[in-house]
Structure 1
Amino acid sequence: MAVVNRTPDSFYPAARSHDLGAALDAVERAVAEGADLVDVGGVRAGRGPEVGVAEEIDRVVPVVQRVRARFPDLPVSVDTWRAEVAEVALAEGADLVNDTWAGHDPRLAQVAASYGAGLVCSHTGGLPPRTDPVRPVYPDGVVADVVAALAAAAARAVAAGVEPRSVLVDPTHDFGKTTWHSLELTRATAALAGLGHPLLMALSRKDFVGESLALPVDDRLEGTLAATAVATWLGASVFRAHDVRATRRVVEMVAVLRGDLLPARVVRGLD
């Protein structure tokens, strides 16, 4: 899942594509590097200037329209917590709603269902959109809390009419969590994959990687890929990534090591 941000203030400067042309170029690059789908966002996840519904639609929907025209078979995801934005984007051909704020707008599942679209169910520890965690505590442990919350959210999505196979679950690293929490969730990938829905991991260049290695966002690729390899081995199946080519190569190599994918070419010792 390639990240395409139409935001001027994304936490990773290299991913900022506020200009429509730059966003479309980012889609072209992602497809060339092996993206299976693109995730278009119009609002920075963290704190920043207010972005209203109309402005978010103006940022997101033109990208959806042009991607659908240019790549008719490419799945398009919209990163939004607002039902109004999702409805317009889905009407223009988006396929998936990536709700990174854990059902803050309860209408979102119904909107996705009405268009036959998929939905990503996330976990934020109860925080409202665009807020940062402050000493979050999970009395029963973060893994138990995330597993229970995602199971409940997925069940609500299915009850609202979203096809079970189109419901993804995301533990949502860093959102409502300390670095310790995000590390523990990565080690517990198998338990999350056991929920029975495709498991999305959004690990790319996040703060838990930076704090683990004492690195700024520009230097977090290797740490991201290490976490990606572990999560792939343990059962994650979708990765939201800024670095598409590198991420895809890591995921495919782990799949070969697991025996889930055949090597692309084997001639050593056979000729």
Structure 2
Amino acid sequence: MQIYGMRWVAIDNLSEAKMALTQIGSDPAGVANMAGKGIGRAIKLEQVPLRAAHILKQEMLSVGGDAAVHRDVITNSIDATDVMLLGTVRQLEHLAKKVSAQPFGLKKIGQALKQLLIALEPSTTRSLNCRGKELILGERTLVMGILNVTPDSFSDGGRYASIEDAISQAQRLIDEGADILDIGGESTRPNYAGVSAEEEWKRLEPILKALLERVAVPVSIDTYKASVAAKALEVGAHMINDVWGLQRDPDMARVVGDYRVPVVVMHNQDGTAYHHLMGDIFAFLQKSIELAETQGLSGDHIILDPGIGFGKTTEQNLEVMARLAELKTLGHPVLLGASRKSMIGNTLNLAVNERLEGTLATSVLGVVSGADIIRVHDVKANSRAIQMADAIVRGQRGVHYVGA
């Protein structure tokens, strides 16, 4: 039996909370005061020294929340502990303010917590300059179309190796809805030995030069080699997509920094052993962010990719997909590249050319999880699915009610 229309209301951020309270007719001052009380957050910190952990626990309790720590903290028999802060946005905002004035590294924790809470809110619309070509982030989910000009890619190797075929396919991808083209001259499929920088550039150069004369969208180069990236940027490429997150070639960060171009930094590793899957991925990406920042890049120019299909088992890939939204806490745009990957093939027991439906599922989940860019082979179908998901997800909760 329903009592007074009792129901659960899904509220994930402050914007939705404010809309829901405004719908009730609350006073604007009350809306501002109450909005943060209806949103629960769990914030994890790793290996916090005991003195700081004790204070975090006490301060969270003082604002009405809680903090989970290792059971041995009470006896001081360990040196550090992971901490899970449990509270509402309002409580966590109070905590950030309180600890920002305290010692033992708590000032930095308070500042970082404040920025993390901001990052969890819906992103604003802003412009990303790609060497004169503009991408609008935050308004809708962008589509990056894949153009492999290799003879041996796992999905479409050899199909677009000639200039004519590559140009034709590039135009098709743009006509079908691609906002960015991502060109790769070397296969990154599992267990592939790779090619020299000279061979990779030999494949890329003529096609890249032809494309830059013909297409209006930004062109990204999928390479982890600094010399290839430098040559591509010299002739006019607009961004770099590095599957090793600036950490395989020591000159890559300098190259992208010199040209001030957006760079996709992807998580990758040899093998599939992790201490803590998401924690290790975050640590890797944070190092990539620091490498880019050292060379003058910041904000939206650093785009994060969790690396589906790279250094992960099928089960690990599925967990990353399920927790994709957590990447937003790093404060940079997120790119998802799951198109036709083995995760889909292994889960559905399907060959590469039969993975469209599985890819569409990952793309829709990417929209729901807040991805800014989704990298795919089949642009038309994915673009339509992404557009539909955007229409549902972006800013709809609480928009329509009587009196609006």
CA RMSD across the alignment? 1.6
* Residue 9 in structure 1 maps to residue 152 in structure 2: yes
* Residue 42 in structure 1 maps to residue 42 in structure 2: no
Contact 1:109 1:119 in 2 (8 A): no
| Cα distance in 1 between the residues matched to 2:157 and 2:202 | 22
2:221 paired residue among 64, 78, 82? 78
- Pairing of 1:195-234 with structure 2 (within 5 A): 195-234=330-369
Aligned residue for 1:67?
211
Alpha-carbon deviation of 1:49? 5.9
Deviation per residue, 1:83-116 (Å, 9 max, x gap): 0000000011111110012320021111011112
| Cα distance in 2 between the residues matched to 1:70 and 1:32 | 13
Aligned residue for 2:264?
120
Letter in 1 for 2:311: G
Select between 28-37 and 101-110 the one with higher mean Cα deviation: 101-110
Q: Percentage identity across aligned positions? A: 36
- Pairing of 1:244-259 with structure 2 (within 5 A): 244-259=379-394
| Cα distance in 1 between the residues matched to 2:193 and 2:310 | 19
Contact 1:3 1:15 in 2 (8 A): no
Alpha-carbon deviation of 1:48? 4.0
| Cα distance in 2 between the residues matched to 1:229 and 1:216 | 21
Long gaps (5+) in structure 2: 1-143, 397-404
Higher relative contact order (CA 8 A, sep 6+): 1
Letter in 1 for 2:255: V
* Residue 181 in structure 1 maps to residue 316 in structure 2: yes
Letter in 2 for 1:235: G
* Residue 110 in structure 1 maps to residue 254 in structure 2: yes
Q: Tell me: CA distance 1:259–1:238, structure 2 relative to 1, closer, same or farther (3 Å).
A: closer
1:145 paired residue among 261, 280, 295? 280
Deviation per residue, 1:111-155 (Å, 9 max, x gap): 011112111111112x2xxxxx4xx12122x11111221122112
- Pairing of 1:23-38 with structure 2 (within 5 A): 23-38=166-181
Long gaps (5+) in structure 1: 128-132, 262-271
| Cα distance in 1 between the residues matched to 2:378 and 2:322 | 22
* Residue 98 in structure 1 maps to residue 234 in structure 2: no
Larger Rg over CA atoms: 2
Alpha-carbon deviation of 1:50? 4.5
The count of aligned residue pairs is 251
Deviation per residue, 1:188-228 (Å, 9 max, x gap): 11101221111011100000011011111111010111111
| Cα distance in 2 between the residues matched to 1:11 and 1:232 | 25
Alpha-carbon deviation of 1:258? 1.2
Letter in 1 for 2:273: V
Contact 1:110 1:161 in 2 (8 A): no
Residue 376 of structure 2 aligns to a residue in which SS? coil
TM-score when scaled to structure 1? 0.88
Runs of 4+ aligned structure 1 residues displaced above 6 Å come to none
Select between 93-102 and 168-177 the one with higher mean Cα deviation: 93-102
Contact 1:109 1:162 in 2 (8 A): no
Deviation per residue, 1:24-61 (Å, 9 max, x gap): 11101111101001001000002446422111111112
Q: Tell me: CA distance 1:15–1:165, structure 2 relative to 1, closer, same or farther (3 Å).
A: farther
Contact 1:4 1:39 in 2 (8 A): yes
